[in-house]
Amino acid sequence: MALSQTEAQPQPSPWALCVAPMIDVTDRYCRYFHRLLAPNARLYTEMITTGALEYGDVARHLRFDVSEHPVALQLGGSERDALVKSAKLGEKWGYDEINLNCGCPSDRVLKGAFGACLMNQPLLVADCLKAMQDAVGVPVTVKHRLGLDYNDSYDFVRDFVGIQYNVGVRVFIVHARNAVLKGLSPKENRDVPPLRYDMAAQLKKDFPEATFVLNGGINTAEESTAHLHTFDGVMIGRAAWHTPAVLGQMHDRIWPAVTRLSEGAVLHAMHAYLQAELKTGTRPRQITKAMLGWAHGKKGARQWRRHLSDPDQMARHDAAVLLEAWELLQQAALISDSTPPAIRS
């Protein structure tokens, strides 16, 4: 008997392609754009602290467009009751997942005693995650590093994961570097500590029933495909910001049968979105900044970036700025195509 396509080719994990939570980057405007590029990718909010939800404008932090599904809320915090309350809010607002940040190494999280430093308190993390799981019906997941400072021991991360696994956590997003809490900036923590994919892979071997998503240093569609032979998913960060087109390329490899929007269709969808958002008081720059790298590698990319970041153009508060930048890009491509090749000596 011939196998069906579903039986012959296992479906990708719901976490097969994720866009990392990035502070000051993955706001709802950026996520809307990323959804147009990758229909099945899992999108994450910026890290939102429990304090921001308790004392701040909840709607401003949690509002999102229905098209963003599947979308996950990442929380920053270390107090169980506050995390439970925030998780409930996330579920109420319709998020598909609640993720706890145990990987951010910035000064901000150190002062708040959460983020990467929580890896030193695995029992506290487990208590918080268990309480959150008991409070909501959506998956509660954790994002963490391999270790802290210069401790390269596999036992450290294995024990951290094992303690969370024992309270029911089944999805782990592993940034395959250590977090150096003193001496490196957040930017340096993204590049300086060495990547140790082999250690992350060992976690998958030791906890085969859990879902492991690899984060760190994944910049191309080819790399994403290679890692999916070992891990259940990949999470890309700065690549989705600096070269957004790669998000669509990765999507094509993971879900080849899913038709994505053409570049022109994405452009016009973003133009309509910008028009609608301008009526609510949104500043154009809040939306166009996510699109600056979309033309990376194309003729006219500089003109595209310049037009969409020009203060005078932004001050017009006119959605036409997006169509104008697109026209500049198309003109540059036509000029390039019509230029005869240089005569070789």
pLDDT at site 343: 34
Which structural domain range is residue 322 located in? 263-336
Instruction: For residue range 159-193, list pLDDT tens digits in order.
Output: 999 999 999 999 999 999 999 988 888 888 888 99
DSSP percent split of the chain into helix, strand, coil, nearest 5: 50, 15, 35
Q: How many CB atoms within 10 Å of residue 130?
A: 17
Q: What total number of domains does the chain contain?
A: 2
| Of the listed ranges 130-134, 148-152, 319-323, the one predicted with least confidence | 148-152
321: left (phi over 0), alpha (psi -120 to 50) or beta: alpha
pLDDT tens for residues 251-272?
A: 999 999 999 999 999 999 999 9
Q: Are residues 208 and 94 in the same domain?
A: yes
**Does residue 345 carry a pLDDT above 80?**
no
From 223, 254, 285, the end of a domain falls on 254
- 344 within a domain of the structure (yes/no): no
pLDDT digits (tens, 9 = 90+) for 31-86: 999 999 999 999 999 999 999 999 999 999 999 999 999 999 999 999 999 999 99
**CATH number of domain containing 323:** 1.20.120
Which of 130, 189, 121, 139 has the alpha carbon at shortest distance from 165?
130
121-131 pLDDT per residue, tens? 999 999 999 99
Boundary-marking domain end, from 224, 254, 284 = 254
The token pair at 55 is 């004392």
Residues marked active site are found at: 104
Least confident of 132-136, 322-326, 331-335: 331-335
pLDDT of residue 113: 73
Asked if residue 208 has a cis previous peptide bond (ω within 30° of 0), the answer is no
Helix (H) or strand (E) holding 327: helix 320-338
Mean pLDDT of 319-342: 82
Residue 343 lies in a domain: no
Looking at 231, 254, 277, the residue that finishes a domain is 254
248 with 267, same domain?
no
Please check whether residue 332 lies inside any domain of the structure. Answer: yes
Using alpha carbons only, how large is the chain's radius of gyration in Å? 21
**SS3 per-residue string spanning 41-91:** CEEECCCEEHHHHHHCCHHHHHCCCHHHCCEEEEEECCCHHHHHHHHHHHH
